[in-house]
Structure 1
Amino acid sequence: MTKLRGNPWAILVVLSLGFFMTLLDLTIVNIAIPSMIDGLHASFDEVLWSMNGYILVLAALLITAGRLGDLRGPRQLFAVGVALFTLASLGCALVDSPAQLIVARVVQGLGAALLVPQTMTLIVGAFPAERRGAALGVWGAVAGIAAVAGPALGGLLVSGPGWRWIFFVNVPVGVVVLAVLFLVVPDIRQGTAHRLDLTGVLVSAGAVFCLTFALTEGERFHWNGVVWALLLAAVVLFAVFVAQQRRRQGREPLVPFALFRNRNYTVMNLVSAAISVGVLGLMLLLSLYFQNVLHFSALKAGLALAPASVVSMALAPFAGRLTDKVDGKYVLLTGMVLTAVGMLWNALVMGPHTAWAAFLVPMVVVGAGNGCLIAPMAAVAMRGVEPAVAGAASGVLNTVRQLGSVVGSAAVGALVQTRTAGGHDGVSAMRTSMALPIAVIVLGALACAAARREGAAPAAPSAAQATEAAASGRGTQS
């Protein structure tokens, strides 16, 4: 095992296993909802809270966890996150009441928030720039594996040993990761002591929590005054956060603004949001269509969605290696165009009695597009980001991605509800609602075109980041 210490590919395997668990739990629980309701004698709202509690904590703490990785060491934060997530998974499997499940899922969300930003930080630290695309391609393929495994594995486990096993499966994975982590992954902490911006933590977490809660629960509460008050509170808190961070830029801020002087990083945050809104919106629409219109079982619906994830998983490593050879911007643009074409194709073949086979080719096209998204996006975003702020960069990027997922699900769900309430049949409501994720992906492609070409003259951010890092060091020593 000592021969593997510091080996970039061994590090990538360990990080990917931890990352896999968190992604699996975003999708696998959906399949088990009816069984959890029966097994725990729970209401639908209680089980829904077990899902949303995970999402709320994950989204609210990603920025903080990313910056904590910069200040305390990404390996340490990753280890704590894996341990918490594994223990919480065991707790989820052993609960005997809805309240216990909600608490265990919240702890799972905390563990996921701590470990997710560190995966990208440690990959950036382990791989040189010229090999980073291939590594991020594998990392992106993990997302494809989780997307395939979630609905399919969830359906098999719920139909077999029972819903509790959707949580038990995380335990051996987490134990393996913890067993080899410190033997394989080196400690890349900075040598100086640091302080965490606690005010920034509280304000940013409050802003993200209010926004995420309002969007995930808005439809259930019929967008009443409380929901709109939370949205307003989110806007106000984000404004306060920006003002507070501006004053703190010379004293270890939670989000170094120098990141956003890097044009590629700023553009890729916009692209990341567009991809999350578009892809999650598509998958939600197709899930609703397959189960509510074509009356597929949960397992059959998951298998109908699987071709996209399988193709994405297979292509992601190749897209990553291609990103090392050509400008990742063009690989990403190709992926977004293919994704939009596949979305439109799916919308056109929707009908009241369409056979599942009619969706096979358009889902393959969507998968080919998705396989060209994650690795080049991450590679272009992290190009030129200083190691001292890589955790913050990863935290912000992952927060934007997570918020995009929430916005996409909420917007598409609300649009379908509105179309259905307006008298449209299920097929018409689904087909017209598809216009939203398609439009967002197209807008994301237009934003991607603004990214700086590989090899172009570097923008001022590197110098700005170096100045900021130096200022942070002086502040620590004083």
Structure 2
Amino acid sequence: MTQTPLADPLRATSNAGRWVLVATILGSGLAGIDQTVVGVALPTIGRDLGASFAGLQWTVSAYTLTLASLILWGGALGDRFGRRRAFLSGVVAFTAASALCAAAPNITFLILARAVQGMGGALLTPASLALIESSFVPEDRARAIGTWAGFSGVATALAPFVGGWILAAASWRWVFLINLPMAALVIALTLRHVPESRQDRHGRAAGARSGASDWQGAVLTVVGLGTLTWAALGSSGSGAVAERVAAVAVAAVAFTSFVLVERRSDHPLVPLDLFADRTFSVTNVATFLLYGAIGCFFFLLVIALQLVCGFSPLAAGAASLPVTVLTLALSARSGELAARIGPRTQMSLGPLVCAVGVVLTLRLSPDSNYWVDVLPAVLLFGLGLVTFVAPLTSTALSSAPTENAGVASGVNNAVARSGTLLAVAVIPVLTGLSGDAFGDVGSFRDGYRACTWAIAALLVGASVMAAVGLPRVCPRLRAPRCRPDPVAGSPGH
């Protein structure tokens, strides 16, 4: 398996390298911004479209479902047909779906349009990170990935504030329309500044036909994740228990079939030998737990600030601005530090700091004051986030061969989105936060408190996983490599 080489690998400090970073950060920011900005708008959307709490969950979960289900395929397609091509295709699809979301006449139409958005995100998200991994010289990848993670986090963290401002000034539909000019800029920058890269399997010409197992694997992941999500968010009428048990059984069969298909394929969607690397496996388990906690926390917090505390959408969105400051200031250095000392310390400590911040939100009430009851929790959560996100991302990519950069990125993103999808669907249901809770402040507050403890447990579990399973020290090279080169005995890509 070979990779189409770049004539001159880029340095992170060069003008060409900076343009690549700007384009990929803005592109990945599209997906991140949309996911968080929609969270601020959920109460308003619910009132305007007459949606139930389950409808709001589906508004989030439909996007995450298709993103998580297809992101593996998106990464593989980018590796095979061109990462820049996949990135641009994803941006175009995402933007078209955003226009459909803005025109939604009812909650069902909005849910379907959000699913299409997820399809676009499944192409652009792994391609964004794979372009960085394949474009920069090895010794600059840690810094480039840290910068990507930091500024992508800034874009995501700014989104609730922007969304709140939009809701204060105009309709919630503009939450989706703001994607259009941003996407136009991303397309222009990518066409002008971002080089193409791809891999060629078994010496075949780049762009050769992908294996049949690709579409089979994609269908099986959609079926597996879709039936699990339906089992959590399905109806509660008579016969619902039997239907949910059947859905879980279908999901188990789908996931088992996925493993069998990938194992027997000459061109697997997910090369299962990637998971033979302990660091890669542990990092992805930790990713599942961490992003499940993060996704569920932000989904519920913005609603709680509006329903329980009486904050306006603008105030609820602005509540997370301290996270923006922390990620902007510290993410790149966090990635560099992990490359020097190894990921274990930061990935063990960061989730625990986040857990303390989550637990502090138990104090939310109608009398809550932002400076006393919200800001300390947000600061701790942001500090924990910036501690582990960059090393988590760089470790997931660096523990896989460079020619599989897109696949490794797709796997890690799929795991992250699956964690968010299942946490948002399952945790509220298991803790009693479902049905008519959206319209009953007392019920919502009780359910939110139970969810908070479940979220904190996920964070603690991820911390333990990292402490036990990750290496203590990385090699000296600043590239995020956490295992020795099998040829030279020294780190490298």
TM-score, normalising length: structure 2: 0.83
Q: What per-residue deviation string (whole Å, max 9, x for no partner) do you get for residues 251-296 of structure 1?
A: 1211112211221111110111111122223334433432333233
Q: How many residues align?
A: 457
**1:98–1:365 Cα change, 3 Å:** closer
Asked whether 1:162 is paired with 2:162, we answer no
Structure-to-structure mapping, 1:419-430, within 5 angstroms: 429-430=447-448
Alignment counterpart, residue 455 of structure 1, candidates 462, 471, 475? 475
Q: Secondary structure at the match of 1:152?
A: helix
Whole-angstrom CA distance in 2 between matches of 1:305 and 1:209: 35
**1:265 corresponds to which residue?**
280
Amino acid in the other structure paired with 1:446: V
Q: Secondary structure at the match of 1:271?
A: helix
Work out whether residues 80 and 198 of structure 2, in 8 Å CA contact, stay in contact via their aligned partners in 1: yes
Asked whether 1:205 is paired with 2:225, we answer no
**1:204 Cα shift?**
4.1
Q: What per-residue deviation string (whole Å, max 9, x for no partner) do you get for residues 27-65 of structure 1?
A: 2223334555676x6655777655443222212111111
Alignment counterpart, residue 221 of structure 1, candidates 228, 235, 241? 235
Q: Secondary structure at the match of 1:385?
A: coil
Asked whether 1:138 is paired with 2:147, we answer yes
Whole-angstrom CA distance in 1 between matches of 2:486 and 2:141: 19
**1:119 corresponds to which residue?**
128
**1:440 corresponds to which residue?**
458
Whole-angstrom CA distance in 1 between matches of 2:116 and 2:384: 34
Work out whether residues 90 and 167 of structure 1, in 8 Å CA contact, stay in contact via their aligned partners in 2: yes
**1:462 Cα shift?**
6.5
Q: What per-residue deviation string (whole Å, max 9, x for no partner) do you get for residues 142-163 of structure 1?
A: 3432333332211221221322
Alignment counterpart, residue 86 of structure 2, candidates 68, 71, 77? 77
Q: What per-residue deviation string (whole Å, max 9, x for no partner) do you get for residues 297-327 of structure 1?
A: 3332222343334423432222123234332
**1:99 Cα shift?**
5.9
**2:161 corresponds to which residue?**
152
| More displaced 10-residue stretch of structure 1: 25-34 or 370-379 | 25-34
Alignment counterpart, residue 245 of structure 1, candidates 243, 262, 267? 262
Work out whether residues 261 and 460 of structure 1, in 8 Å CA contact, stay in contact via their aligned partners in 2: no
**1:475 corresponds to which residue?**
none
Asked whether 1:303 is paired with 2:322, we answer no
Amino acid in the other structure paired with 2:256: A
**1:247 Cα shift?**
1.6
Asked whether 1:17 is paired with 2:26, we answer yes
Amino acid in the other structure paired with 1:353: D
**1:462–1:295 Cα change, 3 Å:** farther
Q: Secondary structure at the match of 1:218?
A: helix
**1:330 Cα shift?**
2.1
Q: Which runs of 5+ in 2 are unaligned?
A: 1-7, 488-493
Whole-angstrom CA distance in 2 between matches of 1:53 and 1:419: 17
Q: Secondary structure at the match of 2:310?
A: coil
**2:376 corresponds to which residue?**
361
| More displaced 10-residue stretch of structure 1: 87-96 or 17-26 | 87-96
Q: Secondary structure at the match of 1:62?
A: helix
Work out whether residues 165 and 313 of structure 2, in 8 Å CA contact, stay in contact via their aligned partners in 1: no
Whole-angstrom CA distance in 1 between matches of 2:62 and 2:301: 24
Whole-angstrom CA distance in 2 between matches of 1:10 and 1:305: 28
**1:110 Cα shift?**
1.4
Whole-angstrom CA distance in 1 between matches of 2:434 and 2:118: 33
**1:169–1:334 Cα change, 3 Å:** same
Alignment counterpart, residue 432 of structure 2, candidates 395, 414, 417? 417
Asked whether 1:327 is paired with 2:318, we answer no
**1:278 corresponds to which residue?**
293
Work out whether residues 204 and 238 of structure 1, in 8 Å CA contact, stay in contact via their aligned partners in 2: no
Q: What per-residue deviation string (whole Å, max 9, x for no partner) do you get for residues 231-257 of structure 1?
A: 221111111111121122xx1211112
Aligned-pair Cα RMSD in Å? 3.3
**1:343 Cα shift?**
2.5
Q: Secondary structure at the match of 2:196?
A: coil
**1:97–1:221 Cα change, 3 Å:** closer
Work out whether residues 25 and 152 of structure 2, in 8 Å CA contact, stay in contact via their aligned partners in 1: no
Q: Secondary structure at the match of 1:374?
A: helix
Work out whether residues 140 and 313 of structure 1, in 8 Å CA contact, stay in contact via their aligned partners in 2: no
Q: Secondary structure at the match of 2:331?
A: helix
**1:334–1:76 Cα change, 3 Å:** same
| More displaced 10-residue stretch of structure 1: 99-108 or 387-396 | 99-108
**1:410 Cα shift?**
2.4
**2:388 corresponds to which residue?**
373
**1:75 Cα shift?**
1.0
Q: Which runs of 5+ in 1 are unaligned?
A: 464-478
Whole-angstrom CA distance in 2 between matches of 1:148 and 1:17: 13
Aligned residues with identical type, % of pairs:
29
**2:5 corresponds to which residue?**
none
**1:7 corresponds to which residue?**
16
Whole-angstrom CA distance in 2 between matches of 1:81 and 1:397: 18
TM-score, normalising length: structure 1: 0.85
| More displaced 10-residue stretch of structure 1: 428-437 or 234-243 | 428-437
Whole-angstrom CA distance in 1 between matches of 2:330 and 2:482: 30
Q: Secondary structure at the match of 1:373?
A: helix
Work out whether residues 312 and 369 of structure 1, in 8 Å CA contact, stay in contact via their aligned partners in 2: no
Whole-angstrom CA distance in 2 between matches of 1:292 and 1:97: 22
Whole-angstrom CA distance in 1 between matches of 2:328 and 2:465: 25
Q: Secondary structure at the match of 2:199?
A: coil
**1:67–1:458 Cα change, 3 Å:** same
Asked whether 1:391 is paired with 2:411, we answer no
